[in-house]
Amino acid sequence: MPSQHFLVALHIRPSTGVSPTKHIWRRAGLTRFLDRLRVACDLMALFFIFDHFTDKVDGGGALVYAKVVVDAMRNPHIERPCDEPKLGEITRQ
Q: Where are the domains of the chain?
A: 1-31, 41-93
Q: How far apart are CA 85 and CA 90, in angstroms?
A: 9
The answer to whether residue 17 scores a pLDDT higher than 70 is no
pTM: predicted TM-score of the whole model, two decimal places: 0.61
| Max Cα distance, the chain (Å) | 45
pLDDT tens profile 40-85: 899 999 999 999 989 989 989 899 999 999 999 898 888 888 888 8
Number of neighbours of residue 82 by Cβ within 10 angstroms: 6
| Mean pLDDT computed over every residue of the chain | 76
